[in-house]
Protein backbone atom coordinates (compact mmCIF):
# COMPACT_ATOMS: atom_id res chain seq x y z
CA UNK A 1 0.00 0.00 0.00
CA UNK A 2 3.01 2.30 0.62
CA UNK A 3 3.78 2.01 -3.10
CA UNK A 4 0.31 3.26 -4.02
CA UNK A 5 0.56 6.23 -1.64
CA UNK A 6 4.08 7.03 -2.87
CA UNK A 7 2.87 6.96 -6.47
CA UNK A 8 -0.13 9.18 -5.70
CA UNK A 9 2.00 11.68 -3.81
CA UNK A 10 4.75 11.78 -6.45
CA UNK A 11 2.15 12.60 -9.08
CA UNK A 12 0.09 14.99 -6.98
CA UNK A 13 2.73 17.04 -5.20
CA UNK A 14 3.56 19.07 -8.27
CA UNK A 15 0.00 20.37 -8.32
CA UNK A 16 0.75 21.94 -4.95
CA UNK A 17 4.19 23.31 -5.77
CA UNK A 18 3.61 26.25 -6.12
CA UNK A 19 -0.07 25.98 -5.15
CA UNK A 20 -1.20 28.55 -7.74
CA UNK A 21 -3.67 26.30 -9.48
CA UNK A 22 -5.35 25.15 -6.27
CA UNK A 23 -5.42 28.72 -4.99
CA UNK A 24 -7.01 29.97 -8.23
CA UNK A 25 -9.64 27.23 -8.09
CA UNK A 26 -10.50 28.20 -4.51
CA UNK A 27 -10.58 31.91 -5.38
CA UNK A 28 -12.89 31.22 -8.35
CA UNK A 29 -15.17 29.21 -6.07
CA UNK A 30 -15.40 32.03 -3.55
CA UNK A 31 -16.25 34.56 -6.27
CA UNK A 32 -18.76 32.23 -7.95
CA UNK A 33 -20.61 31.31 -4.78
CA UNK A 34 -20.57 34.54 -2.83
CA UNK A 35 -20.90 37.11 -5.61
CA UNK A 36 -22.37 35.62 -8.82
CA UNK A 37 -24.75 33.25 -7.07
CA UNK A 38 -25.97 36.04 -4.79
CA UNK A 39 -26.58 38.30 -7.80
CA UNK A 40 -28.40 35.59 -9.77
CA UNK A 41 -30.51 34.87 -6.70
CA UNK A 42 -31.83 38.44 -6.80
CA UNK A 43 -32.43 38.22 -10.54
CA UNK A 44 -34.44 34.98 -10.30
CA UNK A 45 -38.18 35.25 -10.84
CA UNK A 46 -39.37 33.06 -8.00
CA UNK A 47 -42.96 33.23 -9.25
CA UNK A 48 -42.23 30.85 -12.13
CA UNK A 49 -42.26 27.91 -9.75
CA UNK A 50 -44.64 27.23 -6.89
CA UNK A 51 -42.00 27.00 -4.18
CA UNK A 52 -39.52 29.83 -4.02
CA UNK A 53 -35.86 28.80 -4.00
CA UNK A 54 -32.86 30.28 -2.31
CA UNK A 55 -31.01 30.17 -5.63
CA UNK A 56 -27.65 30.97 -4.09
CA UNK A 57 -27.81 27.71 -2.14
CA UNK A 58 -29.14 25.84 -5.16
CA UNK A 59 -26.39 27.30 -7.36
CA UNK A 60 -23.72 26.44 -4.77
CA UNK A 61 -24.58 22.73 -4.93
CA UNK A 62 -24.72 22.90 -8.74
CA UNK A 63 -21.29 24.50 -8.73
CA UNK A 64 -19.94 21.64 -6.57
CA UNK A 65 -21.29 19.15 -9.11
CA UNK A 66 -19.68 21.01 -12.02
CA UNK A 67 -16.35 21.06 -10.18
CA UNK A 68 -16.70 17.36 -9.40
CA UNK A 69 -17.38 16.68 -13.07
CA UNK A 70 -14.38 18.76 -14.18
CA UNK A 71 -12.00 17.09 -11.73
CA UNK A 72 -13.28 13.63 -12.65
CA UNK A 73 -12.74 14.48 -16.34
CA UNK A 74 -9.29 15.81 -15.50
CA UNK A 75 -8.31 12.42 -14.00
CA UNK A 76 -9.29 10.70 -17.25
CA UNK A 77 -7.48 13.26 -19.38
CA UNK A 78 -4.35 12.94 -17.24
CA UNK A 79 -4.24 9.27 -18.06
CA UNK A 80 -4.37 10.09 -21.76
CA UNK A 81 -1.63 12.70 -21.31
CA UNK A 82 0.47 10.11 -19.47
CA UNK A 83 0.19 7.84 -22.48
CA UNK A 84 1.02 10.55 -24.99
CA UNK A 85 3.91 12.03 -23.00
CA UNK A 86 5.56 8.66 -22.50
CA UNK A 87 4.91 8.51 -18.74
CA UNK A 88 2.56 5.55 -19.02
CA UNK A 89 5.12 2.95 -20.22
CA UNK A 90 7.29 3.94 -17.25
CA UNK A 91 4.40 3.55 -14.80
CA UNK A 92 3.51 0.21 -16.37
CA UNK A 93 7.10 -1.00 -15.90
CA UNK A 94 7.19 -0.24 -12.16
CA UNK A 95 7.24 -3.29 -9.89
CA UNK A 96 3.66 -2.99 -8.68
CA UNK A 97 0.55 -4.82 -9.79
CA UNK A 98 -1.82 -3.32 -12.36
CA UNK A 99 -4.60 -3.17 -9.75
CA UNK A 100 -2.37 -1.05 -7.49
CA UNK A 101 -1.48 1.20 -10.42
CA UNK A 102 -5.15 1.74 -11.31
CA UNK A 103 -5.94 2.25 -7.62
CA UNK A 104 -3.27 4.95 -7.45
CA UNK A 105 -4.80 6.71 -10.48
CA UNK A 106 -8.25 6.58 -8.86
CA UNK A 107 -6.89 7.74 -5.47
CA UNK A 108 -5.03 10.58 -7.09
CA UNK A 109 -8.31 11.76 -8.60
CA UNK A 110 -9.96 11.35 -5.19
CA UNK A 111 -7.31 13.40 -3.40
CA UNK A 112 -7.50 16.08 -6.08
CA UNK A 113 -11.27 16.16 -5.72
CA UNK A 114 -11.03 16.49 -1.95
CA UNK A 115 -8.41 19.21 -2.24
CA UNK A 116 -10.30 21.28 -4.80
CA UNK A 117 -13.71 20.95 -3.15
CA UNK A 118 -12.60 21.86 0.37
CA UNK A 119 -13.27 25.59 0.04
CA UNK A 120 -16.44 25.58 -2.12
CA UNK A 121 -17.93 22.76 -0.05
CA UNK A 122 -17.27 24.65 3.17
CA UNK A 123 -18.83 27.82 1.71
CA UNK A 124 -21.85 25.81 0.57
CA UNK A 125 -22.30 24.37 4.06
CA UNK A 126 -22.05 27.84 5.56
CA UNK A 127 -24.61 29.21 3.09
CA UNK A 128 -27.08 26.43 3.84
CA UNK A 129 -26.32 26.06 7.57
CA UNK A 130 -28.11 23.88 10.12
CA UNK A 131 -26.75 20.53 8.94
CA UNK A 132 -25.87 17.26 10.67
CA UNK A 133 -22.56 15.45 10.41
CA UNK A 134 -24.37 12.48 8.83
CA UNK A 135 -25.91 14.57 6.07
CA UNK A 136 -22.58 16.26 5.37
CA UNK A 137 -20.79 12.87 5.28
CA UNK A 138 -23.43 11.44 2.94
CA UNK A 139 -23.15 14.46 0.64
CA UNK A 140 -19.35 14.04 0.50
CA UNK A 141 -19.77 10.34 -0.28
CA UNK A 142 -22.18 11.23 -3.09
CA UNK A 143 -19.73 13.71 -4.58
CA UNK A 144 -16.92 11.13 -4.49
CA UNK A 145 -19.15 8.49 -6.04
CA UNK A 146 -20.04 10.92 -8.82
CA UNK A 147 -16.38 11.91 -9.28
CA UNK A 148 -15.31 8.26 -9.64
CA UNK A 149 -18.13 7.68 -12.11
CA UNK A 150 -17.05 10.62 -14.28
CA UNK A 151 -13.37 9.60 -14.06
CA UNK A 152 -14.34 6.06 -15.05
CA UNK A 153 -16.31 7.37 -18.02
CA UNK A 154 -13.39 9.49 -19.21
CA UNK A 155 -10.90 6.66 -18.66
CA UNK A 156 -13.20 4.35 -20.60
CA UNK A 157 -13.24 6.83 -23.46
CA UNK A 158 -9.45 7.17 -23.42
CA UNK A 159 -9.09 4.32 -25.92
CA UNK A 160 -10.20 6.89 -28.52
CA UNK A 161 -7.15 8.96 -27.66
CA UNK A 162 -4.84 6.10 -28.66
CA UNK A 163 -6.25 6.51 -32.18
CA UNK A 164 -6.53 10.30 -32.18
CA UNK A 165 -6.03 12.72 -29.31
CA UNK A 166 -7.87 15.42 -31.27
CA UNK A 167 -10.91 13.19 -31.64
CA UNK A 168 -10.79 12.37 -27.91
CA UNK A 169 -10.66 16.07 -26.99
CA UNK A 170 -13.56 16.86 -29.34
CA UNK A 171 -15.72 14.02 -28.01
CA UNK A 172 -14.96 14.73 -24.35
CA UNK A 173 -15.60 18.46 -24.76
CA UNK A 174 -18.88 17.87 -26.61
CA UNK A 175 -19.98 15.22 -24.14
CA UNK A 176 -19.12 17.46 -21.19
CA UNK A 177 -21.15 20.31 -22.65
CA UNK A 178 -24.20 18.08 -23.19
CA UNK A 179 -23.97 16.27 -19.84
CA UNK A 180 -23.57 19.46 -17.82
CA UNK A 181 -26.28 21.43 -19.60
CA UNK A 182 -29.01 18.79 -19.94
CA UNK A 183 -29.32 18.39 -16.21
CA UNK A 184 -30.79 19.92 -13.07
CA UNK A 185 -27.39 21.21 -11.96
CA UNK A 186 -28.30 24.85 -12.47
CA UNK A 187 -32.08 24.72 -12.86
CA UNK A 188 -34.62 23.19 -10.45
CA UNK A 189 -36.56 20.28 -11.93
CA UNK A 190 -39.84 22.00 -11.03
CA UNK A 191 -38.78 25.02 -13.10
CA UNK A 192 -37.74 22.86 -16.04
CA UNK A 193 -40.99 20.89 -15.93
CA UNK A 194 -43.02 24.06 -16.23
CA UNK A 195 -40.92 25.90 -18.79
CA UNK A 196 -39.52 23.08 -20.97
CA UNK A 197 -40.88 19.56 -20.43
CA UNK A 198 -38.61 18.07 -23.09
CA UNK A 199 -35.56 19.57 -21.36
CA UNK A 200 -36.85 18.15 -18.06
CA UNK A 201 -37.22 14.70 -19.66
CA UNK A 202 -33.63 14.81 -20.89
CA UNK A 203 -32.47 15.86 -17.42
CA UNK A 204 -34.10 12.82 -15.82
CA UNK A 205 -31.79 10.61 -17.91
CA UNK A 206 -28.67 12.41 -16.73
CA UNK A 207 -26.53 10.95 -13.90
CA UNK A 208 -25.26 14.44 -13.00
CA UNK A 209 -28.84 15.56 -12.37
CA UNK A 210 -29.29 12.65 -9.95
CA UNK A 211 -25.96 13.51 -8.30
CA UNK A 212 -26.93 17.16 -7.88
CA UNK A 213 -30.40 16.43 -6.55
CA UNK A 214 -29.16 13.74 -4.18
CA UNK A 215 -26.59 16.12 -2.69
CA UNK A 216 -29.32 18.78 -2.38
CA UNK A 217 -31.61 16.32 -0.63
CA UNK A 218 -28.85 15.36 1.80
CA UNK A 219 -28.15 19.04 2.46
CA UNK A 220 -31.79 19.71 3.37
CA UNK A 221 -33.47 20.90 0.18
CA UNK A 222 -37.17 20.21 -0.29
CA UNK A 223 -37.47 16.62 -1.60
CA UNK A 224 -40.70 17.36 -3.52
CA UNK A 225 -38.85 19.37 -6.14
CA UNK A 226 -35.96 16.92 -6.56
CA UNK A 227 -35.43 13.67 -8.44
CA UNK A 228 -36.24 10.43 -6.63
CA UNK A 229 -33.41 9.74 -4.12
CA UNK A 230 -33.70 5.94 -4.32
CA UNK A 231 -33.32 6.12 -8.10
CA UNK A 232 -30.48 8.62 -7.65
CA UNK A 233 -28.53 6.27 -5.36
CA UNK A 234 -29.05 3.40 -7.81
CA UNK A 235 -28.02 5.49 -10.83
CA UNK A 236 -24.90 6.92 -9.19
CA UNK A 237 -23.72 3.60 -7.80
CA UNK A 238 -24.33 1.85 -11.12
CA UNK A 239 -22.52 4.56 -13.06
CA UNK A 240 -19.49 4.56 -10.73
CA UNK A 241 -19.17 0.76 -10.56
CA UNK A 242 -20.01 0.30 -14.23
CA UNK A 243 -17.69 2.92 -15.71
CA UNK A 244 -14.78 2.15 -13.37
CA UNK A 245 -15.13 -1.59 -13.99
CA UNK A 246 -15.40 -1.09 -17.74
CA UNK A 247 -12.49 1.33 -17.86
CA UNK A 248 -10.27 -1.01 -15.78
CA UNK A 249 -11.14 -3.84 -18.18
CA UNK A 250 -10.57 -1.75 -21.29
CA UNK A 251 -7.34 -0.24 -19.99
CA UNK A 252 -5.91 -3.63 -19.01
CA UNK A 253 -6.49 -4.78 -22.57
CA UNK A 254 -5.68 -1.58 -24.41
CA UNK A 255 -2.71 -0.17 -22.54
CA UNK A 256 -0.65 -3.33 -22.81
CA UNK A 257 -1.54 -3.82 -26.42
CA UNK A 258 -1.03 -0.35 -27.78
CA UNK A 259 2.25 1.37 -28.50
CA UNK A 260 2.85 4.49 -26.50
CA UNK A 261 2.63 7.55 -28.66
Contact residues for other proteins, defined by CB under 8 A: 3, 6-7, 10, 14, 82, 85-87, 89-90, 92-98, 256-259
Measured from the CB of residue 24, what is the shortest distance to other proteins in angstroms?
Answer: 17
* Shortest spacing between CB 163 and other proteins, in angstroms: 10
Which residues lie closer than 8 Å to 68 by C-beta, 6 or more apart?
A: 113, 117, 143, 146, 147, 150, 211
Does residue 18 have a cis peptide bond before it, meaning omega lies within 30 degrees of 0? yes
For other proteins, give the closer residue by CB, 31 or 258.
258
Q: Tell me whether residue 32 or residue 260 sits nearer to other proteins (CB atom).
A: 260
Complex with other proteins: residue 100 or 181, whichever CB lies closer: 100
Q: At its nearest, how many Å lie between other proteins and the CB of residue 245?
A: 20
Compare residues 88 and 203 and give the one whose CB is closer to other proteins: 88
Q: How far is the CB of 129 from other proteins (least distance, A)?
A: 40
Residue 82 CB, nearest approach to other proteins (Å)? 8
The smaller minimum CB distance to other proteins, of residues 3 and 70, is found at 3
Amino acid sequence: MFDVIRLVWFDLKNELKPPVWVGLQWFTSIVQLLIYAALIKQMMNANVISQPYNYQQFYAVGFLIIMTFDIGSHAGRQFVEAAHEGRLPYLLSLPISRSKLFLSIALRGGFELALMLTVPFTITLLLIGNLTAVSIGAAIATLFCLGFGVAGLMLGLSFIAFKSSDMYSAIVTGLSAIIVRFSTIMYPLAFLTQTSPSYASAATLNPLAYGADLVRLLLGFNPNSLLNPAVAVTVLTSVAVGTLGLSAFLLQRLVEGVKSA
